[in-house]
Amino acid sequence: MRFLSKKQVSQLVLYSGAHIARLEAAGRFPKRVNLGQCRVGWVEEEIQSWMEARVAERDGHTGSS
What do you get for the CA distance between the two ends of the chain, in Å? 30
Please state, rounded to an integer, the average pLDDT across all residues of the chain.
94
Query: Looking at the 3D structure of the chain, how many domains does it have?
Result: 1
Alpha-carbon dihedral 44, 20, 14, 30, rounded to 10 degrees: 30
Single pTM value for the model: 0.87
3-class SS of residue 62: coil
Is 63 part of a structural domain of the chain? no
Q: Give the pLDDT of residue 61.
A: 77
Strand partners, 23: none
Is 21 part of a structural domain of the chain? yes
Q: Give the pLDDT of residue 64.
A: 57
pLDDT tens for each residue of the chain, 65 residues long: 999 999 999 999 999 999 999 999 999 999 999 999 999 999 999 999 999 999 999 999 765 55
The whole domain housing 13 covers 3-58
Q: Give the pLDDT of residue 50.
A: 98
Contact assessment for residue 62 and residue 23, using Cβ atoms and an 8 Å cutoff: no
Read off the amino acid at residue 51.
M
